[in-house]
């Protein structure tokens, strides 16, 4: 990491302009955040600065472990840390990584020259990287920077991550003082309170040759009555740890329940898609059945009309059948069937003549093959018969057209009769 490339102005209006400017850039100098999340990043940073004015948004170059360098947003400054009744300011840097806000930011403790990181620390690595449950359980889009700082302050107040680094006293014979003040090297530039040093015993411990204490609770061995240490009550510590454990368990249960509900919602969405597909299939089948029903109803009307026609024909010809039974057996075949009208008689005669000519032509073909009829005579007869057959077929075709028109008119009359 290198020093920030640009520093925004301190007042809120100019900070808003700064964030709008850097987040709206395009091209090679654009920040590597997704376009649909830049508005949320801007709002979260403005909310963070509004709640914690000691933090300032900046752009700086972040170097990954693999050597890649990328220009990112960061919030640098101090956050309050209440400890033993006193509020201290802990310097930190919050890096908004490329995947933010869908994934948690990277938080580093940024000690000054007069501070060192406590080793070991449950939440801070020797490099300063912070790891707390809130970062591990980051949930987009509900998690935000303001809640992150609250959790950081709470975690640091239980176990401060920084020590005050004592410098050796340049004066070999310091003048005794009954109540020495805080060493000037311990003054923090980030706020009105330095990280938790020992406010009254730093000079005494250094003069006596004892190593400095991180929290300033070293007692001089020459005093017969040492000052009592300011420690938390064991019951209060147990209560606080139990509450933290309970909060983590509840948070884990909430995450588990959320994942279970998401699985259930996915199942419901899949079932909904199946039901919609089945609904479409049912509607399609219902439409096909309705169309088929309409077609069957039309066919039923045709069948009913044909039945009526057949019943009428049977009633008309029932007497003829009885009369034929009373006569002798020498019944002429041509007299057994009578045409109902002139058109039917023409069709019958034309069809009979057509079939007869067909038989004659077939017989002539056999005779030519057998050599009974000369070929030139065969051609003359076939030409004459074909001409006559053509006229019979044309007559039958025209008569059938006339019968069809008459039948259509009759069916229209019957339909109007059924409708009425």
pLDDT at 322: 64
- Extents of the domains making up the chain: 12-164, 342-418
- Residue 194 pLDDT class (50, 70, 90 cuts): very low
DSSP of 11-66, one letter per residue?
SHHHHHHHHHHHHT--STTS-SS-GGGHHHHHHHHHHHHHH-TTEEEEEEEEE-TT
Determine the pLDDT at residue 326: 59
Sign of the torsion formed by the C-alpha atoms of 11, 12, 13 and 19: positive
> Per-residue pLDDT tens for 217-257?
333 333 334 444 444 467 777 787 888 888 888 988 998 89
Place of tokens 């004066």: 171
90/60 Cα distance (integer angstroms): 20
Query: 12-164, what's its fold?
Result: Ubiquitin Conjugating Enzyme (3.10.110)
3-class SS of residue 246: helix
Mean pLDDT along residues 179-198: 38
Q: How far apart are CA 353 and CA 390, in angstroms?
A: 10
Q: What is the mean pLDDT of the chain?
A: 78
Give the per-residue pLDDT at 75: 93
Query: What is the percent of the chain where pLDDT is above 70?
Result: 76
User: In the structure, what pLDDT confidence band is assigned to residue 325 with cuts at 50, 70 and 90?
Assistant: low
pLDDT at 252: 86
Partners of 115 in the β-ladder: 164
Q: What is the pLDDT of residue 336?
A: 64
Confidence band (pLDDT; 50, 70, 90) for 324? low
Q: Shortest CA distance to 59 belongs to which of 129, 2, 127, 128?
A: 2
Distant-in-sequence, close-in-space partners of 368: CB < 8 Å, separation ≥ 6: 375, 378
- Grade residue 6 by pLDDT with cuts at 50, 70 and 90: very low
**DSSP code string of 85-151:** TEEEEEEEEEEE-TTTTTSPPEEEE---TTEEE-SS-SSB-TT-BB--HHHHT--TTT--HHHHHHH
pLDDT at 61 > cutoff 60 = yes
Residue of 203, 197, 196, 198 whose CA lies nearest to 180: 203
The predicted structure's pLDDT at residue 272: 92
Other beta carbons within 10 Å of 104: 21
What is the distance between the terminal CA atoms of the chain, rounded to a whole angstrom?
96
Instruction: Compute the distance between CA of residue 156 and CA of residue 148 in angstroms, rounded to an integer.
Output: 12
104-142 pLDDT, tens digit per residue, is: 999 999 988 888 888 888 899 988 999 999 999 998 888
The tokens for 64 are: 């990954």
CA 104 to chain centre: 22
For residues 89 and 79, give the distance between their C-alpha atoms in angstroms, rounded to a whole number. Answer: 5
pTM of the model: 0.41
**pLDDT at site 403:** 85
DSSP 8-state assignment for residue 185: G
- To the nearest 5 percent, what fractions of the chain are helix, strand and coil? 55, 10, 35
Chain centroid offset of residue 152 CA = 34
pLDDT for res 84: 86
The Cα–Cα gap between 162 and 91 comes to 10
Say if residue 92's pLDDT is above 90. Answer: yes
Residue-wise pLDDT tens digits, 135-181: 999 988 888 999 999 999 999 998 899 888 765 555 544 444 333 33
């Amino acid at each position: 990491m290198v020093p920030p490339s640009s520093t925004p102005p301190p007042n809120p209006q100019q900070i808003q302009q700064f964030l709008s400017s850097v987040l709206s850039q395009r091209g090679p100098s654009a920040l590597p955040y997704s376009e649909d999340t830049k508005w949320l990043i801007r709002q979260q940073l403005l909310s963070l600065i509004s709640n914690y004015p000691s933090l300032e948004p900046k752009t700086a170059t972040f170097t990954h472990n693999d050597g890649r360098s990328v220009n990112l947003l960061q919030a640098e400054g101090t956050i309050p840390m209440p400890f033993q009744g006193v509020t201290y300011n802990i310097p930190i840097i919050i890096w908004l990584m490329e995947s933010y806000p869908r994934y948690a930011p990277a938080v580093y403790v940024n000690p000054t020259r007069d501070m060192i990181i406590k080793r070991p620390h449950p939440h801070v690595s020797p490099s300063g990287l912070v790891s707390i449950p809130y970062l591990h359980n980051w949930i987009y889009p509900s998690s935000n920077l303001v809640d992150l700082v609250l959790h950081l302050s709470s975690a640091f107040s239980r176990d401060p991550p920084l020590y005050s680094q004592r410098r050796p006293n340049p004066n070999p014979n310091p003048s005794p003082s009954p109540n020495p003040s805080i060493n000037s090297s311990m003054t923090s530039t980030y706020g009105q309170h330095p990280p938790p040093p020992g406010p009254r015993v730093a000079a005494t411990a250094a003069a006596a040759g004892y190593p400095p204490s991180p929290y300033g609770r070293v007692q001089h061995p020459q005093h017969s009555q040492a000052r009592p240490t300011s420690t938390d009550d064991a019951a209060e510590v147990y209560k606080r740890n139990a509450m933290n454990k309970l909060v983590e368990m509840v948070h884990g249960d909430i995450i588990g329940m959320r994942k279970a509900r998401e699985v259930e919602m996915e199942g419901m969405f899949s079932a909904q898609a199946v039901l919609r597909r089945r609904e479409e299939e049912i509607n399609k089948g219902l439409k096909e059945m309705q169309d088929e029903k309409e077609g069957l109803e039309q066919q039923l009307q045709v069948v009913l009309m044909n039945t009526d026609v057949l019943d009428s024909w049977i009633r008309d010809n029932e007497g003829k059948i009885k009369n034929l039974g009373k006569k002798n057996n020498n019944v002429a075949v041509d007299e057994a069937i009578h045409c109902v009208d002139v058109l039917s008689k023409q069709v019958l005669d034309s069809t009979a003549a057509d079939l007869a000519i067909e038989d004659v032509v077939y017989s002539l073909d056999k005779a030519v093959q057998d050599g009974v009829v000369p070929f030139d005579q065969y051609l003359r007869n076939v030409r004459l018969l074909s001409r006559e057959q053509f006229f019979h077929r044309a007559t039958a075709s025209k008569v059938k057209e006339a019968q069809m028109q008459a039948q259509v008119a009759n069916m229209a009359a019957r339909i109007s009769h059924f409708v009425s």
